[in-house]
Structure 1
Amino acid sequence: MAIRNAFYAQSGGVTAVINASACGVIETARKHPDRIGKVFAGRNGIIGALREELIDTSLESEEAIRALIHTPGGAFGSCRYKLKNISENQREYERLIEVFRAHDIGYFFYNGGGDSQDTAYKVSQIADKMGYPITCIGVPKTVDNDLPFTDCCPGFGSVAKYIATSTLEAGLDIKSMCESSTKVFILEVMGRHAGWIAASAGLASKSEAEPPHIILFPEIPFRREAFLERVDFCVKNYGYCVIVASEGAQHEDGRFLADTGNKDAFGHTQLGGVAPTLANMVKQALGYKYHWAVADYLQRAARHIASATDVEQAYAVGKAAVEMALSGKQAVMPIIVRDQARPYRWHIGEAPLSDVANQEKKMPIHYIRDDGFGITQDCRDYLEPLIAGESFPPFEDGLPKVARLQNELTEKKLKTEFTL
């Protein structure tokens, strides 16, 4: 068979282990020089393909590519740019095919969440329509853990480990000072429509008296009076109250507690500020001294405390994506299939991109406690294996050692430029 090049791109919010997937793709491709020539990476995701800004990863050493496993962020740059429906703007898709044709790209690996899998699926459709042979494989990634079919999403286990650890450590801090200082602490975490990240904080607790005392999930409508009653109960009985709130916490009518009124590049409501909103509510109603924090980018960049399970799975889906492409699979995404919980065993399966695209997996209701403020044993059993194991990066001069790539662009071949 003819040797053709591959294109890999990172999309959406990055994670502590997305580069491990990149490493899996590139290292596996390099093992098949008879099938795959160069692996080009899009500079800033799919935007790099549209602008014909292709990073030539063949110029990177084996050591540099291997270092991606312990490097957070997006090594080649990511983006929040969603291609429109083909019927609305076919030109974007035609441009992608033009770039792929110019650089003899026969494999397309798109590393991202639901919107990204939608893009990979649409590219496979337009390529078929235009008669251009290209294999499109999605590579799962999202800290929100909301992709369907897969048992978990690479990127989530490490965020879960960070949030559970932060809740444990901050809880001890608040407990030690609550007699004469702060009595209520609120940690805001990511999670627009699914409360997986917030739920992971529950792993820090071994009894009802230990934090987090309250978890707010997007799946459970916020009840102001019940919330304040629970806060007051915890302060009076335990001396303090630790709350972990998903950014997507919402009222019964669907309005987000932290709706800014703005939209992001994907058309999603921009969120931020649920922690201060709750803090002010507590202060006005109960008068307790409070502190709040937003985990924000720290939770998804914390490679120093990544889950070993997560790192292994992130690499595995990148490796599997290449193997699926070489075996003739088209428009599919490798998924993680749980064989058993204790001891945790899993294997790689697959799901069609047409079913994965733009779908969200919310928490099962039996994972949430009856009062809506905590997790059940079933949820704990699901989560614990995903944060298991340590995969510390190497350190240099007291700081984590990260990959430092050249990221040199290959020469453009098209005469026309593309404006976003």
Structure 2
Amino acid sequence: MAKQKRNAFYAQSGGVTAVINASACGVIETARRHKDRIGKVYAGRDGIIGALTEDLIDTGKESATAIAALRSTPSGAFGSCRYKLKSLEANRREYERLIEVFRAHDIGYFFYNGGGDSADTCFKVSQLSEAMGYPVQAIHVPKTIDNDLAFTDCCPGFGSVAKYVAVSTLEASFDVRSMAKTSTKVFVVEVMGRHAGWIAAAAGLVEEQGIPVVILFPEIVFDEPEFLARVDQLVRQHGYCTVVVSEGCHHADGSFLAEQGARDAFGHAQLGGAAPVVANLIKQALGHKFHWAVADYLQRSARHIASKTDVTQAYALGRKAVELALQGHNAVMPTIERLSDAPYKYRIGMAPLAKVANVEKFMPRDFISKDGFGITEKCRRYLRPLIQGEDYPRFTNGLPRYVSLKNVAVPKKLAAFDLK
């Protein structure tokens, strides 16, 4: 007896990446190849908020060419959001609303593309849907530039950020080196990474080209005297140096160098400004002339220099998410399982969301040098394959040609829902 054909819902969550749309492409194209099992594929406008407010997008209105172009387009094609659903006990009405919307639109597959918080939401939806008598197969599609999801070797989005940070550090360091005799001696760049220093670690790859770099990781407590001594040593030895600081760098008491006192929608401390703090410390203590920069959105949106490995894996995990759902799996996440470093080999695995949700993966201590300011060869072996290859978008008149979808709304069937 053939299984009932049901619709699918896909949403993007949290900070977007250069390759999150490649995962969307993988989900939608794979679903279209299984029209006997999956009917319409809806997307949430602005992420999970689209589901709560019944603001759905009919991806069936997009041509095959437009969907294929998502693979080389950065950011979130359907819109994303930083909206954390509370626990079932604290706000059951939101989860019940999700199931109500899914029921109204005959949605039986839920593909949520995001990081740790979205993995938790995905898991809760799978639990509640069963309890409410409307089963929904909830599959989490991993995405985070922070590379901090557990049970997967790497996360889509990270490889491209790592490539951008490594290339930018290399090129900026060449600039500083050329002017060091009479101008800037220290260049400080701030990268993302609240609790895990994977992004900052990528800058350590430039040491292979003789660039003197000091890296400040969230995993290593900031020691001001040791840091300043290391910077001064490199400037005296090379005439200049580059400092890469993770936004999550913190003091011994746990306070962030860059904490602004505000909180984001997920309840996390609002960070930003570690670079000028560090640069001014160098100026005041050592007197070296400096420049600083914050990579910010530039690092996560740089599709023009995306890692081919990253693009390939992002698409593969989106495709695998649909395949897992069709195989009957629920409350799981497709993962990357590394088989070897060189040559780089991996396979797509699967992890239960009960173990993935709300678990952060930090830099192993043996990936960080003994002095705490660089990376080890073991870390280099891990990073190198993830930044390999170029997957350039199509260029027109000198600029990347990215796709903007029509995002046609699906007619609403339910009463309005107030987001509180």
TM-score tier (shorter): over 0.9
- Structure 2 equivalent of residue 251 of structure 1: 251
After superposition, where does 1:349-388 map in structure 2 within 5 Å?
A: 349-388=349-388
**1:329 & 1:171 partners in 2: Cα distance?**
48
Task: Give 1:419 shift.
Answer: 2.8
- Structure 2 equivalent of residue 337 of structure 1: 337
Report the AA paired with residue 318 of structure 2. G
Q: Quick one: which of 176, 191, 202 aligns to 1:174?
A: 176
- Structure 2 equivalent of residue 409 of structure 1: 409
Gaps in structure 1 of 5+ consecutive residues: none
After superposition, where does 1:20-35 map in structure 2 within 5 Å?
A: 20-35=22-37
Q: Quick one: which of 149, 157, 168 aligns to 1:155?
A: 157
Task: Give 1:252 shift.
Answer: 1.4
Report the AA paired with residue 23 of structure 1. C
What do residues 170-192 of structure 1 show as CA deviations (whole Å, max 9, x unaligned)? 00000000000001100000000
After superposition, where does 1:179-198 map in structure 2 within 5 Å?
A: 179-198=181-200
- Structure 2 equivalent of residue 18 of structure 1: 20
**2:270 & 2:382 partners in 1: Cα distance?**
29
Task: Give 1:373 shift.
Answer: 0.4
Report the AA paired with residue 58 of structure 1. G
- Structure 2 equivalent of residue 324 of structure 1: 324
User: Which aligned runs of 4 or more in structure 1 are off by greater than 4 angstroms?
Assistant: none
**2:418 & 2:274 partners in 1: Cα distance?**
39
**2:256 & 2:217 partners in 1: Cα distance?**
11
Report the AA paired with residue 211 of structure 2. E
Report the AA paired with residue 210 of structure 1. I
What do residues 145-168 of structure 1 show as CA deviations (whole Å, max 9, x unaligned)? 000010000000000000000000
- Structure 2 equivalent of residue 260 of structure 1: 260
After superposition, where does 1:49-60 map in structure 2 within 5 Å?
A: 49-60=51-62
After superposition, where does 1:81-92 map in structure 2 within 5 Å?
A: 81-92=83-94
Q: Quick one: which of 124, 127, 132 aligns to 1:125?
A: 127
Report the AA paired with residue 238 of structure 2. Y
Task: Give 1:415 shift.
Answer: 2.5
- Structure 2 equivalent of residue 106 of structure 1: 108
Report the AA paired with residue 4 of structure 2. A
Task: Give 1:410 shift.
Answer: 0.5
- Structure 2 equivalent of residue 301 of structure 1: 301
- Structure 2 equivalent of residue 395 of structure 1: 395
Task: Give 1:204 shift.
Answer: 1.3
SS in structure 2 at match of 1:164 = helix
2:308·2:387 contact (CA, 8 Å) conserved in 1? yes
What do residues 248-268 of structure 1 show as CA deviations (whole Å, max 9, x unaligned)? 001112111111111100000
| 2:62 is equivalent to residue 46 of structure 1 | no
TM-score, structure 1 as length reference? 0.99
After superposition, where does 1:58-77 map in structure 2 within 5 Å?
A: 58-77=60-79
Report the AA paired with residue 280 of structure 2. N
Report the AA paired with residue 405 of structure 1. L
Report the AA paired with residue 20 of structure 1. A
**1:360 & 1:202 partners in 2: Cα distance?**
22
| 2:243 is equivalent to residue 210 of structure 1 | no
Percent of pairs with identical residues: 67
**1:174 & 1:103 partners in 2: Cα distance?**
57
**1:334 & 1:119 partners in 2: Cα distance?**
16
Using the TM superposition, name which of 183-192 and 229-238 deviates more.
Answer: 229-238
2:122·2:139 contact (CA, 8 Å) conserved in 1? yes
Report the AA paired with residue 334 of structure 2. P
**2:103 & 2:190 partners in 1: Cα distance?**
45
Q: Quick one: which of 141, 149, 153 aligns to 2:143?
A: 141
**2:242 & 2:85 partners in 1: Cα distance?**
41
SS in structure 2 at match of 1:206 = helix
Task: Give 1:297 shift.
Answer: 0.2
2:197·2:246 contact (CA, 8 Å) conserved in 1? yes
**1:101 & 1:210 partners in 2: Cα distance?**
57
- Structure 2 equivalent of residue 279 of structure 1: 279
**1:378 & 1:215 partners in 2: Cα distance?**
16
- Structure 1 equivalent of residue 222 of structure 2: 222
- Structure 1 equivalent of residue 270 of structure 2: 270
What do residues 359-390 of structure 1 show as CA deviations (whole Å, max 9, x unaligned)? 10000000000000000000000000000011
**1:161 & 1:241 partners in 2: Cα distance?**
20
SS in structure 1 at match of 2:208 = coil
2:53·2:416 contact (CA, 8 Å) conserved in 1? no
Aligned residues: CA RMSD? 0.7
**1:276 & 1:28 partners in 2: Cα distance?**
46
Task: Give 1:133 shift.
Answer: 1.5
TM-score, structure 2 as length reference? 0.99
Report the AA paired with residue 316 of structure 1. A
Task: Give 1:416 shift.
Answer: 3.4
Report the AA paired with residue 79 of structure 2. G
Report the AA paired with residue 112 of structure 2. Y
What do residues 212-237 of structure 1 show as CA deviations (whole Å, max 9, x unaligned)? x2000000000000011111111111
**2:235 & 2:344 partners in 1: Cα distance?**
37
SS in structure 2 at match of 1:138 = strand
**1:223 & 1:199 partners in 2: Cα distance?**
18
**2:241 & 2:340 partners in 1: Cα distance?**
35
Number of residue-to-residue matches in the alignment: 418
| 2:342 is equivalent to residue 315 of structure 1 | no
Report the AA paired with residue 285 of structure 1. A
SS in structure 2 at match of 1:312 = helix
What do residues 302-347 of structure 1 show as CA deviations (whole Å, max 9, x unaligned)? 0000000000000000000000000000100000000111100011
SS in structure 2 at match of 1:369 = coil
**1:415 & 1:113 partners in 2: Cα distance?**
30
SS in structure 2 at match of 1:363 = coil
